[in-house]
Amino acid sequence: MPEMLQEYADSRGVAVEVDRQAGVIRGVKILGLQSRNGRTYLAEALEKAVPLYERAKVNVNHPKGSPGAPRDYQDRIGVIRHVGVRAGEGLFGDLHFNPKHALAEQLIWDAEHLPENVGLSHHVEARTRRDGDQVVVEAILRVQSVDLVADPATTRGLFESADAASGQPLAGQLTVEALKRQRPDLVEALAQENAAELSRLRAELERLQAEEAVRQKRHRVGQLLKEYQLPDPERAQGWARLLVSPRFVQTLLDSPDEAAMRGLLEDRAALARSMAALAPTPAPDPSRPLSRDPVALASPLPLDTKAFVAAIAGGNG
């Protein structure tokens, strides 16, 4: 998969020729075979890259923002021409610069006296592969920009070539594959962090699912209590509350299935009917309409309260 690489080259140790009148520095090193960060360029990759660098525009310093950002007019200082490959060394060419540019004199002085002070930094799209711990550049696919900078990256100065200080794809061009190759430790740390977060989320999901299951079961218990004409635990008063005590409701919630709940409710409903039969029947109020209550749960205490409590206790009240 193509990657965006940032490279740097200077020309220390290289014999260059400065032509002040023509505005040319001949024999500038454009790209080296070996990166300071361990990246290696195949000779055939440089051979095929020659036309990509021919007449490449040269600007002063890196662009503001992203590598593809528009350049200011005053940034343009020259162009690369007569690009060629020197066996065992890399790509070389002539830097044609504007002798009237504000930085022209500084560039000439550095080229003549301290060529390691400045170099060419280029932002290129390349195809790479991994060979053990080394990154091998198999092909340069596109040259996006060439910049005259003070900090070399593939060689060592204006007449040699070196990788960008990071030796890694720019953040905007970073891919998962590149990250796995260049920072396996970071990938592993992220994987462990994600695993821990996933475990926490699963535990939270299980907790919420358990709470929802209890809520639904409690709702079903309320429906079944109504079906068996037993009182609402939240509203029951007096001896009726003993029929649907918190302990009995919890027994229903702990039941393995609805069949078990129905068995408990049938027993409790039968007990309620038998105890209601022991209660005295109050005289009807002629001023109020009659109502029918199968288990008479609003009745006063049954005649034999001790027997009722004993019956409730025997039924896991």
Q: What pTM was estimated for this model as a whole?
A: 0.47
Q: State phi, psi for 20 to the nearest 5 degrees.
A: -60, -45
Burial of 118 (0-12, 13-18, 19+ CB in 10 A): buried
Note the Cα 193 to chain centre separation in Å. Answer: 10
| Res 155 pLDDT > 50 | no
Comparing 11-15, 159-163, 193-197, 266-270, the range with the smallest average pLDDT is 159-163
The pLDDT tens digits of the residues spanning 42-73 come to 999 999 999 999 999 988 887 766 666 677 78
- How far lies 310's CA from each of 128, 262, 264, 280, 314, in Å? 85, 22, 17, 20, 6
Q: Cα–Cα–Cα angle for 154, 93, 80, nearest 5°?
A: 95
Residue 175 confidence (pLDDT)? 66
What is the C-alpha to C-alpha distance for residues 91 and 35, in angstroms, rounded to an integer?
Answer: 13
DSSP state of 115: G
Whole-number Å distance between alpha carbons of 169 and 68: 14
Tokens 């309409």 -> residue: 289
The residue written with tokens 């950002």 in the block is 69
Higher pLDDT, 270 or 16: 270
Instruction: Dump pLDDT digits (tens) for 13-38.
Output: 676 788 988 999 998 888 888 876 66
CA distances from 16 to 26, 90, 110, 210, 307 (A): 6, 15, 12, 78, 116
Compute the average pLDDT of residues 126-149: 86
Alpha helices by DSSP H, listed for the chain, are 43-53, 104-113, 176-182, 184-227, 239-243, 246-253, 258-278, 305-314
**Residue 280 DSSP code:** P
Phi, psi of 31 (to 5 degrees): -155, 130
What is the rounded distance in angstroms from the CA atom of residue 271 to the CA atom of residue 63?
Answer: 88
Q: Which residue's structure tokens are 């594959």?
A: 177
In the prediction, which pLDDT does 261 show? 92
Look at residue 156 and tell me whether its pLDDT is greater than 50.
no
CB under 8 Å to 16, separation ≥6 — which residues? 25, 26, 27, 28, 111, 115, 158, 159
> In 3-state terms, what secondary structure has residue 65?
coil
Q: In this predicted model, what pLDDT tens digit does every residue of 67-126 receive, in sequence order?
A: 666 777 888 899 999 999 998 888 899 999 999 999 889 988 988 888 777 688 878 889
